[in-house]
Homo-oligomer: A and B are copies of this chain.
Amino acid sequence: MKLKYAIIGTGALGGFYGGKLAKAGHSVEFLLNSDYEYVKEKGLRIDSVLGDFHLPDISAFRQTEEMSLADVVFVCLKTTQNHLLKKLLPPILHENTLIILLQNGLGVEADVAKEFPNQMVAGGVAFICSQKVGAGHITHLDLGKIIMGMHQGDRGSVLKQICENFISSGIDAEMTADLDLIRWRKLVWNIPFNGTTVVMNTTTNSLILDEATRPLIYSLMNEVVCAANACGVALNEEFARKMIDMTEAMMPYEPSMKIDFDLRREMEIFYIYTRPIELAAAAGYDMIRVRMLEQELRFMQKNLSNDKG
């Protein structure tokens, strides 16, 4: 049986992964918002290190009410939009639809699972450098692997099929039995770099090369490692060191939160910072520096919002 895919949020992630599936011939419907008119007329363009391509005629929609029922729904919105899911998702869900949250942070699956208690819910973590650079135009700069794991319901067989679909579409994909581990691993990078590039108004590279912020980044990473451990997730300092080395080898990079802030969009503070801090605290570990970073970010977010309005 061929799976019918729905992509909720056709940005850097949704546009890329959905585009790759569509290009390989899979049935994919895309939900768009501001880019709808443009994409409906001109299609989706993806400039990728794996090869550029153009999808002139994708199944683009402005409302989920107009979309088909889907077997697999990839939620690729920013987590700051998750309050919309309650209205967005029901029109495309059938009994066995699997909702996969391809989002940042920790705890998104738990919240969506609570909202949709009878639905299968999975999480996906994308290790990719991609950006939406214009309407219907995505650039894929580096990496691309996606790791998925179940959170609610036992539909591992569907997840396996999705993995196979990705792999045959040219995407490195993998299943995990330990989604928490994958999410915490990504936080080891996301927590220090997203916030600190915003607060210091700089790139990953400058932070890593500076003699004051390099140890700060390392301390923040270690707090994430300790928090993961407190939550029963096995990570170690060695992994933090690897993340430092990996970042040093990367091109100067602006994490998604930095891009959001510069574009005056709401930052994903809650799921990237607040939730991990709360979960660690409940497990007895105080993320002192990460909390300080979160407080700085909240101040900046609020003052940005004030400026706006």
Contacts and interface: CB of A to CB of B under 8 A. Distances in A.
A296 B202 contact: no
Contacts of A213: 295-296, 298-299
Nearest to A220: B292
B207 A299 contact: yes
Given A199-B199, A288-B288, A289-B288, A296 B216 contact: yes
A205 interface: no
Interface in A180-204: 199-200, 202
B299 A210 contact: yes
Categorize the interface residue count of chain A: 20 to 34
B289 A200 contact: no
B292 A202 contact: no
Contacts of A202: 299, 303
A302 interface: yes
A5 B52 CA distance: 76
A153 interface: no
Q: Which 4 A-B pairs have the closest CB atoms?
A: A212-B298, A216-B295, A212-B295, A213-B299
A210 B302 contact: yes
Contacts of A299: 200, 202, 206-207, 210, 212-213
Interface string A199-235: 1101000110011110110010000000000000000
- Which residue among A206, A212, A215 has the maximum number of chain B CB atoms within 10 Å of its CB? A212
A222 B240 CA distance: 29
A199 B289 contact: no
A175 interface: no
9 contacts: A199-B296, A200-B299, A206-B299, A210-B302, A211-B298, A212-B298, A212-B299, A216-B296, A288-B289
Contact of A206 (B206, B215, B292, B303): B303
Contacts of A199: 199, 296
A302 B216 CA distance: 15
Given A202-B299, A292-B292, 17 more contacts: A199-B296, A200-B299, A206-B303, A210-B302, A211-B298, A212-B294, A212-B299, A212-B302, A213-B295, A213-B296, A213-B299, A216-B292, A216-B295, A216-B296, A288-B288, A289-B292, A292-B293
Interface string A264-306: 0000000000000000000000001100111110111011000
